[in-house]
Structure 1
């Protein structure tokens, strides 16, 4: 009997996730499957995971802003270039770029933008130097507020939210707005 080499090929395919989807699924898993249900059940190590949830939730809004504004970048509006967009801060993208690109103002004092701004500030306090404390309640509110902000940004541009199927398959629960959550002081 003669042995002949056997050639086999196979394909591995991951689901059709992009940066926003992967971040949402990861933060959602952290918030609802890994962290405890209440602050009373929160252990010391959970505080660091809550901080990561805040950073991840904030990332959702930054990704949304980048995606939406890049879709406008073919039109160099009022002297802004793609390079300018890449260097733009989160706050400037939301307060200046989005209104210039869409021709519509963004009311940062109204929800969900009020919560988005509170999340942005707390994320900065968490990441830069002070490592601000975070709780389970803050983590849940951060995810809820970030997703609501992402949806509102797409609505602001007149585009449909491209991740509705992801939210249907992996639902977001109603939570408190991030700006309304009781937060430990920054030390």
Structure 2
């Protein structure tokens, strides 16, 4: 029996992804979310993750994205902590976010409960944007500097979320190639 995984992401008290994804400077989120959903359908439904080889491929892809995210969080912390004039609450939150992100990556939820399966890996990919956007918009709210908010939004879009899309596109290509050669 397959158990549905929740779409609800709870990483900050009283913060809803469906609200924050429409915040100023984050208007791009819905388009990127749609791309991620479309790619997830392509990878997990259209092509399908139906055997051990395909599952191993998508798990490696998720692990790659998560390790890249860890590196990008370190970059973000350095940028924000060293930015003069930025509020202490912003500097404190980015460190907390990075630590929480690393903790979640180290837990490897997709490997728990009997090991990985396509549903857990897909949920991890699809929920990543939600977790990142909730935390990024909260971080943006920690300071009134409009330029900071724009720079943060651009970094999240162009570096973090684009990395997720790139990994999914690569997985789609790998699985297509593997399917054609079998």
TM class, shorter-length: 0.3 to 0.5
Structure 1 or 2, whichever has the larger Rg, is 1
Point out which structure has higher relative CO (alpha carbons under 8 A, 6+ apart): 2
Query: What is the TM-score with the length of structure 1 in the denominator?
Result: 0.39
Query: What is the TM-score with the length of structure 2 in the denominator?
Result: 0.40
